[in-house]
Structure 1
């Protein structure tokens, strides 16, 4: 598919919740990510306005990106996870669009730092760089470069261990 094939990119609404679960279950091999999002909705890490959906021209939810509160050392930050696009719309720009909208909303809300644990070939397009460059690590072993960080405001990136919200289990 050429270009972004969506109706709109917007914050989720309560009516989107079941469709978001379906997107996550279609994009991943298990229901773990859908269950994670359910748990995060009930967690203090949830920040209103930082859960975004992409829809197709019929209004069906086809993509999703979530930012929740985490900490790097003692400093508040955000974590980008999960992100998903239904298989038939993958590689069409939907993921880039929905993630970009979520990051821009976080920037507008005054957030400074975002971490992501993901594919090293995908997230640099948003400005993410290896977190190890800033002395950021996790309590679990991951390949160097898989944990990345982005400064949303151009300010100083904190260093230390990432502490995710409890539902992540890390």
Structure 2
């Protein structure tokens, strides 16, 4: 039976292997996602309650990570979460594990009071969870990305009212 739980320190090495395997054949990947996870864990933007694993019979099959980010407007900054990465072992992809991880991460982020999540991802996958083009809200990535691939999810009603600007990610993304 599949369980979704918070990642623990003892899971770190296995999680990094799962993340590395997951992106081995990914088309849009720098093949460095497992190192990104390690760097993010050591950053101020890490939220341990939002680092979740999917596990079956003591084997980690997937992982999702949400970290703190900011949407910097002209005069105000708004807190948001950045989703990266969502990883499922290749042989378990398309079996609902990613969907379960995403739903749990969204639910947990809402419970913790966060208002939105930004993602650079597949435009056919993430809208299933309610993600919309970030440009609709005047939210932009700090780098060149296709408009349809940069998305945002409003977690709380009105959570994006008056919010616009450029997303500022953890430095760990650029190390």
Shorter-chain TM-score above 0.5: yes
Structure 2 length as normaliser, TM-score? 0.90
Contact 1:10 1:101 (8 Å CA) reproduced: no
Q: CA deviation at 1:7?
A: 2.4
User: What aligned pairs does 1:2-17 form with structure 2 within 5 A after superposition?
Assistant: 6-17=1-12
Return the match for 2:165 from 126, 146, 160: 160
1:61 is the counterpart of 2:51: no
Contact 1:9 1:53 (8 Å CA) reproduced: yes
Tell me which residue corresponds to 1:77: 80
Tell me which residue corresponds to 2:46: 46
Q: CA deviation at 1:103?
A: 1.1
Return the match for 2:17 from 19, 22, 25: 22
Per-residue deviation, residues 135-162 of structure 1 (Å, max 9, x unmatched) = 1111211111111001111123121001
Distance 1:139 1:18 in 2: 30
Q: CA deviation at 1:99?
A: 1.2
Q: Report the more deviating stretch, 149-158 or 124-133.
A: 149-158
Which structure 2 residue ranges, 5 or more long, are not aligned? 25-29
Contact 2:65 2:85 (8 Å CA) reproduced: yes
Query: Structure 1 stretches (4+) deviating beyond 3 angstroms?
Result: none
Distance 2:158 2:46 in 1: 23
Q: How many residues align?
A: 164
1:110 is the counterpart of 2:105: no
Tell me which residue corresponds to 2:174: 169
Contact 1:27 1:84 (8 Å CA) reproduced: yes
Distance 1:87 1:109 in 2: 31
Distance 2:99 2:14 in 1: 19
Distance 1:97 1:156 in 2: 23
